[in-house]
Structure 1
Amino acid sequence: MKHILIIGYVWPEPKSSAAGSRMLELVQLLLAMNCRVAFASAAALSEHRFDLNAIGVTEKAIALNCSSFDEFVRELQPDAVLFDRFFTEEQFGWRVAQQCPTALRILDTEDLHSLRQARQQLLKATQQMAVDEKARQSVSPVRATAAELYTQMCTSDMAQREVAAIFRCDLSLMISEVEMDLLQHYFSVPAALLFYCPFLRQPAINAAGVPDFSARQHFVTIGNFRHEPNWDSVLWLKHQLWPLIRTQFVTAGVAAPELHIYGAYPPPKATQLHNPKEGFHIKGWAVDAHAVMQNARVCLAPLRFGAGIKGKLMDAMHSGTPSVTTTIGSESMSGGLAWCGAVADSADEFARAALELYQQPSLWQEKQQQGFNILRDYFYRCDYTALLQQRLRTLEENIATERQANFIGQMLRHHQHKSTQYMAQWIEAKNRDR
Structure 2
Amino acid sequence: PAGHLRDTYHLGDDRQLDLPDLRFDETQKKLMYVGFLGWEPNAQGLLWFIEAVWPQLLERHPDLVFEIVGKGADQRLQSAVAAHAGIRLRGFVEDLQEIYRESRVSVAPLLFGSGMKVKVLDAMARGMPTVTTSVGAEGIAAESGRHLMVADDARIMADQVLDLLDNSALWNRLQSESRALVQARYTWRRLFDNMHRELRLALDRHRGVASPDSMDGLRHAG
Correspondence for 2:37 among 225, 235, 240: 225
Q: Which residue of 1 aligns with 2:80?
A: 273
> Do the aligned partners of residues 232 and 392 (structure 1) sit closer, same or farther apart at CA in structure 2, a change above 3 Å counting?
same
| Corresponding residue number in structure 1 for 2:66 | 259
Q: Secondary structure at the match of 1:315?
A: helix
- How far apart are the structure 2 equivalents of 1:232 and 1:295? 26
Three-state SS of the structure 1 residue aligned to 2:68 is strand
**C-alpha distance in 2 between matches for 1:282 and 1:359:** 24
One-letter identity of the residue aligned with 2:165 = Y
Instruction: Indicate if the aligned counterparts of 1:316 and 1:322 stay in contact, CA closer than 8 A.
Output: yes
Letter in 1 for 2:50: K
Partner of 2:103: 296
Contact 1:298–1:357 under 8 Å retained in 2: yes
Percent of paired sites with the same residue? 25
Counterpart residue identity of residue 313, structure 1: V
Residue number in structure 1 paired with 2:57: 245
Counterparts in 2 of 1:206-225, with a 5 A limit? Answer: 206=18, 209-217=20-28, 218-225=30-37
Displacement after TM superposition at 1:278 (Å): 0.8
Q: Which of 149, 154, 163 is the equivalent residue of 1:347? A: 154
Query: Could you tell me which amino acid in structure 2 is paired with residue 258 of structure 1?
Result: V
Superposition TM-score, scaled by structure 1 size: 0.42
Aligned match of 2:115: 308
Contact 1:262 1:282 in 2 (8 A): yes
Q: Considering only CA atoms, is the larger Rg found in Structure 1 or Structure 2?
A: 1
The 1:244/1:213 distance shift into structure 2, 3 A limit, reads same
Q: 3-state SS of the aligned residue for 1:282?
A: strand
Letter in 2 for 1:301: A
Q: How far apart are 1:302 and its partner, in Å?
A: 1.4
Give the counterpart letter for 1:194 in structure 2.
L
Counterpart secondary structure, 2:162:
helix
Contact conserved, 1:219 with 1:258, CA < 8 A, in 2? yes
- Three-state SS of the structure 2 residue aligned to 1:376 is helix
CA offset at residue 290 of structure 1? 4.5
The one-letter amino acid of 2:53's match is L
**Contact 2:131/2:148, CA 8 A, preserved across alignment:** yes
Letter in 2 for 1:308: G
- Secondary structure of residue in 2 paired with 1:274: helix
Q: Does 1:357 align with 2:164?
A: yes
CA apart distance, 1:401: 5.2
Cα RMSD (Å): 3.1
Within 5 Å, give how 1:16-415 maps onto structure 2.
192-199=3-10, 202-203=14-15, 205-206=17-18, 209-217=20-28, 218-247=30-59, 249=60, 254-275=61-82, 278-336=85-143, 339-380=146-187, 383-389=190-196
| CA pair 387-239 structure 1, distance change in 2 beyond 3 A | closer
Check conservation: 1:211, 1:295, Cα contact below 8 A: no
1:86-116 deviation digits (Å, cap 9, x = unpaired) = xxxxxxxxxxxxxxxxxxxxxxxxxxxxxxx
C-alpha distance in 2 between matches for 1:394 and 1:344: 37
Any idea what SS the aligned residue of 1:192 has? coil
Amino acid at match of 1:278: A
CA distance in 1, matches of 2:94, 2:104: 19
Letter in 1 for 2:132: T
Asked if 2 retains the 8 angstrom alpha-carbon contact of 1:324 and 1:354, the reply is yes
Cα contact 1:210–1:320 (8 A) shared by 2: yes
Q: Structure 2 vs 1, CA of residues 230 and 274 (structure 1 numbering), >3 Å: closer, same or farther?
A: same
The TM-score with structure 2 as length reference comes to: 0.77
**Residue 326 of structure 1 aligns to which amino acid in structure 2?**
T
Q: Deviations over 1:146-168 (max 9, x none)?
A: xxxxxxxxxxxxxxxxxxxxxxx
**Alpha-carbon shift at residue 273 of structure 1 (Å):** 2.9
Contact 1:294 1:320 in 2 (8 A): no
Structure 2 gap segments, 5+ residues each:
209-222
Give the conservation status (yes or no) of the 8 Å contact 1:286–1:292.
no
SS in 2 for 1:383: helix
SS of equivalent to 1:226? coil
- Paired residues of 2:22 and 2:128 also in contact (CA < 8 A): no
